[in-house]
Amino acid sequence: MHHTPCFLSLPGLGVALVAAALLAGGCAGRPELPILEPTASPLLAQTSARLDALLPADVLLVGEQHDAPAHHDLEQQIISSLAARGLLAAVALEMADTGVSTAQLKPSSTDAQARKALQWDDAAWPWAAYGPAVMAAVRAGVPVLGANLPRAQMAASMKDGSLDARLPGPALKAQQQGIRAGHCNLLPESQITPMTRIQVAKDMAMAEAVHQLLLPGKTVVLLAGSGHVDRRLGVPQHLRPGLNAKALLLRAGAAADTDRAEAFDSAWATPALPETDYCADLKEQLGPSAK
């Protein structure tokens, strides 16, 4: 289709003056076209082919290991592939709180503008890791939204006994045990129930964010830690019945916990990471309170 340049509708203005105006403010009333990632990359093609086994889906829940670089690469490829097919509805992030969005940004927006829109906390979530996936959506003209429970709401969640009933009994106990293990059995027992409530509240917030982004025939992608996308315990427990949601586990190294396989629709293995003593780091953070 032939598009008439917008400056032709401005008779009497010099070309140089119009060009300067366009550079300064853009062409009023005409939205920018999406800037899509190249699809010829072998890695992108491979990821796209693996995605076929999970589609169609109203929601694709991608569970990562936060410190695995290969997982961030795959997330960018997933978002780019869905965007190139015209199937990407929106991207929701554990890494940003509810209430923030890139919806007002243009495809040509910069990383700095996206970070500002999402109120990005680089100390907690390095932009170098997550920025490429976020910007793949922004350039495609697809909104990226925060989905996590805001910190200001956590104290109230810790005291909210109604959250204990939001999971079936066995799942609640498993979630509590996950909190113990995830904190290297260093938390006082009195903190297990309040911390579990925060986890449930986070999953509920992410589910509600997903619900608000649904579009017929397209897929909402949620990027979160693998525990949040566990079908038995996490976000899927709080999604509407009948929603076609697929949970994808990105797994670094060999599967040590094969019993979790039933909690995901698919698992994509990536190279193992160097051994890290996370418990030693936690003991240092907790100081004298650590057991």
pLDDT tens digits, 25-61: 444 456 799 998 776 788 888 999 999 999 999 999 9
pLDDT band at 282 (very low <50, low <70, confident <90, very high): confident
Is the CB of residue 145 less than 8 Å from the CB of residue 95?
Answer: no
Of the candidates 262, 185, 285, 226, the residue with the CA atom closest to the CA atom of residue 67: 226
Residues 6+ apart with CB under 8 A from 70: 250, 252, 270, 271
CATH 3.40.50.11550 residue ranges in the chain? 42-289
Which residue has 């397209």 as its token pair? 218
Is the CB of residue 143 less than 8 Å from the CB of residue 137?
Answer: yes
Who has greater pLDDT, 46 or 255?
46
Mean per-residue pLDDT of the chain: 88
pLDDT of 262 reads 80
Kindly list the distances between the CA atom of residue 27 and the CA atoms of 9, 30, 33, 107, 115, in Å, as whole numbers in the listed order.
11, 6, 12, 14, 25
- Provide the edge-to-edge strand list for the sheet that holds 88-97: 144-148, 88-97, 219-225, 59-64, 245-252, 266-270
Asked if CATH classification 3.20.19.10 holds for the domain at 42-289, the reply, yes or no, is no
pLDDT band at 6 (very low <50, low <70, confident <90, very high): very low
Residues 6+ apart with CB under 8 A from 150: 97, 98, 99
pLDDT tens digits, 112-167: 999 999 999 999 999 999 999 999 999 999 999 999 999 999 999 999 999 999 99
% helix, strand, coil for the chain, step of 5: 50, 15, 40
* Confidence check: pLDDT of 18 > 70: no
Who has greater pLDDT, 7 or 191?
191
pLDDT band at 286 (very low <50, low <70, confident <90, very high): low
E strand residue ranges, the chain: 59-64, 88-97, 144-148, 219-225, 245-252, 266-270
- Distance (Å, whole) CA 143 – CA 288: 44
Residues 6+ apart with CB under 8 A from 280: none
Size of the chain, expressed as the number of residues it contains: 291
pLDDT of 255 reads 63
